[in-house]
Amino acid sequence: MDTNTLGPRNRLIAALRADRGGQWFLGVLLVTGVLAPLLNLAVPPTSALHLSSYTVTLIGKYMTYAMLAIAVDLIWGYCGILSLGHGAFFALGGYAIGMYLMREIGTRGVYGDPVLPDFMVFLNWKQLPWFWYGFNHFAFAALMIMLVPGLLALVFGFLAFRSRVSGVYLSIITQALTYALMLAFFRNDMGFGGNNGFTDFKDIMGFSLQAPGTRMALFLVTVLALGGSYLLCRYIVASRAGRVIAAIRDSESRARFLGYRVESYKLWVFVFSAVLAGIAGALYVPQIGIINPSEFSPANSIEIVIWVAIGGRGTLYGAVVGALLVNYAKTYFTAALPSMWLYALGALFVLVPLFLPQGVVGAVSQLRSRMIGARATS
């Protein structure tokens, strides 16, 4: 069936019917969104079935990482753009919501200043910087969550793609971008809290961040955002534009020879991916309770790429699997093997790409095909 003749809704349905992995992922996500509130709020803490608030927060953090992994898989797995700086867009989205949360504290801060955050009072700032104006309104902060990462990606991508920078050179430049931002945000005179960043948040939109109901609401919003991100990316991949970016990945020079504006396609998918990463960062901060310049670390951006490689790039749901697998392993090893966890994670990063070049989901798919083939010949 030619999906180009279908409407947007039918095109998405057709894409999902051919996407068994995506069906499983969305099914598990739906079950998680239904069971987690029940086990956390309805089941008493004394029950073995109770889901603690810590576990809810941990799962919520994993889901924001999964959104970030999908954003990277969209540009790397489908367009061939290997970005080693997507952690910067994630962090910018986190800082945008963090600025709103800091303004929400008001007189409840340590110094009781109704306008200036505590760190500004401590550093003897006399007035609020101009770029903090408007962040006392949630709608403005929500706009900045998407606008700031998107605008940075637009400017950076326009200059890079217009100059036809690609391959390892583009990867190095994106890594330099996030490193430069990390150094800038570490400075106290930038007005972003220096190396301490933002923390000690009180509430969001008038609701206490410590209340179980607020935490569960953030969890459910993250579930919806992750599911929506997957569906939107799946729709893009299945569309005509998705076929073009796949052609650019396979042979950029041939796509350009056929008359496609390669730079324009690469730019819009790069900007969209950055906005998606920014939204993931904005959902991460209220649940975790802190944002600081370490989120800009180039090592974080490299780790995101490793998530996608381990899960299986070019599948979208494989990126989710990789993000969940690696971060759960990190959580487990830091508790079970506190002196060895770095070596365990290092072994995971080396062995999986070496023996499973198509990632975990690719290996499972190959195993399933072999089993079906063996049954057919027997």
Domain segments of the chain: what residues? 18-377
pLDDT at 16: 83
pLDDT at 5: 59
pLDDT at 6: 65
- The H or E element spanning position 133 is none
Count of CB atoms within 10 A of residue 58's CB? 16
Residues 6 or more apart whose Cβ sits within 8 Å of residue 86: 68, 71, 72, 174, 273, 274, 277, 301, 304
pLDDT at 15: 82
- CA-closest candidate to residue 250, choices 262, 238, 268: 262
Stated pTM of the model: 0.93
Cβ–Cβ < 8 Å for 141, 100:
yes
Tell me: the pLDDT tens digits for 2-40? 555 566 777 788 888 888 889 999 999 999 999 999 999
Count of CB atoms within 10 A of residue 15's CB? 20
C-alpha 145/C-alpha 272 separation (Å) is 13
Main-chain phi, psi angles of 135, to 5 degrees:
-80, 5
Low-confidence stretches of the chain (pLDDT beneath 50): 1
pLDDT at 224: 97
Helices (H), the chain: 8-17, 20-37, 53-77, 86-105, 118-122, 138-162, 167-185, 212-238, 240-250, 252-257, 262-288, 298-311, 317-336, 341-355, 359-377
Tell me: the pLDDT tens digits for 187-223? 999 999 999 999 999 999 999 999 999 999 999 999 9
Cβ–Cβ < 8 Å for 178, 85:
yes
